[in-house]
Amino acid sequence: MKFKRQIVVIFLAISILLNIQLIGFILKTNHNIDRNLMYSNLVLSSFINNSMDNIENGVELYRKNIFSYKEFKKTLEKESTNLFWYDTLLEKTRLLNPKFDVNLFETKAYLNMIHKKQVITNDDLENIEKLAHIHIYASFDDFYISKKITGSEINPYYIQGYLDMEKLSEQYLKNEEK
């Protein structure tokens, strides 16, 4: 009887420890998702806004481990050159990026080039994809974003169709004609 009680106690202790570890893992994972979601949003909003300050700001936030979404939003709001694009991306983008790895200087240089010519081509999208390790899929007015992790693709989260690059290009051409 005493032996059975000991087994039950040991089993309960193991269960409690496993549950504590599981809770810790979930909290840690959510923490990382928050951080990576913010960082991903930041790179994407910088890409669309053509704003170099946004990238620098976000990297600074990332390094300081400021994970509060409100704090992030407040800081980006100050820097954002176009609040419409900023709000759209912040609210609509849900990009899960464990181990998000961006070559900051290359990406900045490329974004700067796009900023100067004010038009985005398919080649530009492919180059951004390579630099930022993100995949941007266009379908008419809608954009889908997904990330490849260990060979398998995460289901892309939907972004409403505010990022229609063809319209952006047409607008640029009309402005050039004037």
Cα separation values, 89 from 8, 105, 115, 175, 178, Å: 52, 22, 18, 25, 30
Tokens standing for residue 42: 């930041």
Q: What pLDDT, on a 0 to 100 scale, did the predictor assign at position 174?
A: 57
Are 60 and 38 in contact by the 8 Å Cβ rule? The answer is no
Helix/strand/coil for 165: helix
Q: What would you measure as the largest C-alpha separation in the chain, in angstroms?
A: 93
- Alpha-carbon gap, residue 53 to 48, rounded angstroms: 13
Whether the pLDDT of residue 105 is over 60: the answer is: no
Instruction: Tell me the percentage of the chain whose pLDDT exceeds 70.
Output: 0
- Give the confidence band of 74 by pLDDT, cuts at 50, 70, 90: low
User: Do β-strands 135-139 and 157-159 pair in parallel, antiparallel, or remain unpaired?
Assistant: unpaired
- Give the confidence band of 121 by pLDDT, cuts at 50, 70, 90: low
Instruction: Tell me the percentage of the chain whose pLDDT exceeds 90.
Output: 0
Q: Residue type at 58?
A: G
Cα separation values, 138 from 88, 92, 122, Å: 16, 15, 10
Q: What is the arithmetic mean of pLDDT over 15-44?
A: 45
For the ranges 17-26, 121-130, 151-160, the maximum mean pLDDT occurs at 121-130
- Give the confidence band of 8 by pLDDT, cuts at 50, 70, 90: low
Q: DSSP labels for 65-110?
A: T---HHHHHHHHHHH-S-HHHHHHHHHH-----TT----HHHHHHH
In angstroms and rounded to an integer, the radius of gyration of the C-alpha atoms of the chain is 22
- The better pLDDT of the pair 150, 103 is held by 103
Q: What pLDDT, on a 0 to 100 scale, did the predictor assign at position 15?
A: 54
- Give the confidence band of 132 by pLDDT, cuts at 50, 70, 90: very low
> Which DSSP symbol is given to 7?
H
Q: Characterize 32-59 residue by residue with b for buried, 16 or more Cβ atoms within 10 angstroms of its Cβ, and e for exposed.
A: bbebbbbbbbbbbbbbbbbbbebbebbe
Q: What are the extents of the domains in the chain?
A: 2-177
